[in-house]
Chain A
Amino acid sequence: MDNTKRYERLLERYRNGDLERRSFLGLLGAAGLAYGVQTPFARMARAQDVTQVRFDGWGGVVSEAFRRHAFDPYTAATGIDVVDGTFAGGDEYLAQVRSSREGEYNIAHLSGVFDYARYVNFGLDVELNTDNIPNMELVMDALTAAYRRITPDHLSAVPYNYGTTGLAYNRAHISDEEIREKGAAILIDPAHEGRIGGWSDWRTRMWYAALQTGQNPNDIEDMEAAWDAIRSHRDLALKYWGSGAELMSLLAEGEIHVTEGWSGRIAALQEQGYDIGYYDPPNGFGWQECLFVIKGSPVEACEELLNFMLAPETSIAVAEGQNYPPALDGTKVDLGEKIPTLPAYDPTGTLDALTFADPTYWNGNEAEWSETFARVQRGF
């Protein structure tokens, strides 16, 4: 339909007095409305041909490395743009995804196997065809196996990197000998009252409470003792931190002398010249991150992008940027000079030295423990 001609015909009828002003404006409005309604639907119809994929991650150097080594080459090869978003935390991001339209979010850099399980439980998973992701061959089997235990018949994500949440301490106040002697119990040592920090994350608090009470973090039997340890830590702590930036700031400024911390962030502080030590106590908290494809996404386009992101040059650049070892198996790929020096790096490719959270156990207790922690945190 030629809208210009129709407009001119209507205008002529109006000028001739054949059409009332009210009717003329009404018809113009109806035409505008029809155009406005038609356009988004037309766009949706055209979406069958994928023009863009959205990726959400942690931002900063990681995003820059992805952009340079994966997104731009991917766009050059496929013509598909990658829209790069960031989030501050996994919980907040899940809340956004749950309240969004299907297909709005495509790939997310998620933390932990329990996040994989949560997304699967919310029905947000897809079935990836790993034949379309040849670089999966280079990934450590131990990392993939963790996801296969949750979805035995398919994968909705590829492993990407791993790290630990160990003890970070200011060497000006705490010696290497003291941290090895006391281990996780240093976080409830009254000698450091007011100089202790901790992540405001119920999982980490409970994991360290298990270590402090001599229990297996994946099978805590004496819950009351664990909650008491969390209360002791709360009473001795100066501050619960909520982000990596806050963790680094508290340690760098000397506000706190000891806390548990993320291996990559502490490595970054060490790179900047701060005398901060890092120690993984026995049964320290190991975790892995993945690139999860969310339900409603153009799966084939996402698979192709995942392959670009898993390519050794991309994985290594991202790993060096964020100071977390990549999911690539060091026995199959030359990971360069820096990565083998990173905290938590496992040269064997088996990850036997790390303890990971059992997603069934932790997700099964999430509702109760997260609510109880909110109370314990406030003095209850």
Chain B
Amino acid sequence: MSVEARERRQPWILLSPALGAVTLLLLVPLAFIVVYSFWLRSAVGADTPGFHLDNWQRALTDPFFRYILLNTLKIAAITTVICALLGYPAAYFIARSRGNKLILLLLLMLPFWISYIIRTMSWINILGSSGALNTALMSVGVISEPIRMLYNEGTVILGLVHFLLPFMVLNIYVSLEGIDTNLEDAATSLGATRWQAFLQVTLPLSLPGLAAGGLLCFVLGAGTYITPLILGGPRDAMFANLVFEAIITQLNWPMGSALSLLLLMVLGVLVAIYNRYLGMSQLTKGLG
């Protein structure tokens, strides 16, 4: 074998374990889901194999699915904006702090050591009728009866922010860390105030990190189903809850497959747009 041929083969040989894993664990199951989405659910018993567009037609034209999908995107967008507003100052503080960065980063990572479900459920003990907040307010006489704070869209967003904020902070932090602080000093030496230097130098340079954090928060938020299940009221549901119900409760795997692929495609389009304008490399930087 020639040296050139060997060099051409080498990357593929090195990549083959990863490609094998991706094929077996991602592409093959995805192919099964695609095939399933064209099957039909029978009223009772096994599904009907074949190539039917009924599930897709319903998923794309039914106003119920459209409503839940739009509501899911709305909740994910609100969550992302709140994460950005809360996460930027925190990331800026960590990036510009001296000496204790490691401790601050460790504190940021601490929530990941506790199960996401436990973290979500902790809000019940904080916001519940006999939770910490109501008990405290009643004990100081601010209120005479517990305020109803749980089980609505607001608590769903709160739970999502709690879950996703560290992802946003980390991405912005990585971006801010890469900015030369001399640039801000140069701007101030040329007459800009600190605020102007931040707005016109630091903020634009950190936008890729903000966008990467935004994308992560949005995609993870739009795909969640645990948070609305635990903190939502009777009407509060996100698109992933419909997938869960179709597959687990209704045993309608074909419809559940079509719905999960629809969500995948919608989020895929968003990722593609992001990649077109900012590139995926920023995302991997934030994760790294």
Contact = CB atoms under 8 A, between A and B. Distances in A.
Interface of A: 89, 91-92, 94-95, 98, 117-118, 121-123, 194, 198, 202, 234, 237-240, 242, 249, 253-255, 363-364, 366-367, 370-371, 374-375, 377-380
B188 interface: no
Contacts of B46: 122-123
Interface residues of B, number: 29
Contacts of B235: 234, 377-379
A199 to B, nearest CB: 11
B41 to A, nearest CB: 7
B251 interface: yes
Contact of A367 (B41, B229, B237, B247): B41
A206 B175 CA distance: 54
B44 A367 contact: yes
Nearest to A249: B124
Given A370-B249, A375-B64, A255 B150 contact: yes
B70 to A, nearest CB: 12
Contacts of B148: 194, 238
Nearest to B233: A239
Interface of B: 41, 43-46, 64, 67-68, 124, 128-130, 148, 150-151, 229, 233-235, 237, 242, 245-252
9 contacts: A121-B44, A237-B233, A238-B234, A249-B124, A255-B150, A370-B250, A377-B237, A378-B67, A378-B68
B150 to A, nearest CB: 7
Contacts of B250: 366-367, 370-371, 374
Contact of A378 (B43, B237, B247, B248): B237
Contacts of A253: 124, 128-130
Contacts of A98: 251
Contacts of B233: 237-239
Q: Ordered nearest first, which 5 A-B pairs have the shortest CB separation?
A: A121-B45, A370-B250, A121-B44, A239-B151, A234-B234
A95 B247 contact: yes
A242 B229 CA distance: 8
A226 B249 CA distance: 20
A295 B275 CA distance: 49
Contacts of A367: 41, 43-44, 250, 252
Nearest to B45: A121
B261 to A, nearest CB: 18
Contacts of A89: 248
A242 B129 CA distance: 19
A123 B44 CA distance: 11
Given A255-B129, A367-B250, A378 B64 contact: yes
Contacts of A234: 234-235
Given A91-B248, A238-B233, A242-B229, A254 B130 contact: yes
B64 A380 contact: yes
Nearest to B71: A378
B245 A374 contact: yes
A26 to B, nearest CB: 15
A255 B128 contact: yes
A120 to B, nearest CB: 9
B22 to A, nearest CB: 21
A360 B242 CA distance: 26
A249 B45 CA distance: 36
A242 B151 CA distance: 13
Given A238-B151, A255-B150, A370-B249, 7 more contacts: A91-B251, A118-B251, A237-B234, A239-B151, A364-B43, A374-B246, A380-B64
Contact of A377 (B41, B44, B130, B234): B234
Nearest to B245: A374
A238 B148 CA distance: 9
Contacts of B229: 242
A380 B242 CA distance: 14
A242 B64 CA distance: 22
A118 B44 CA distance: 7
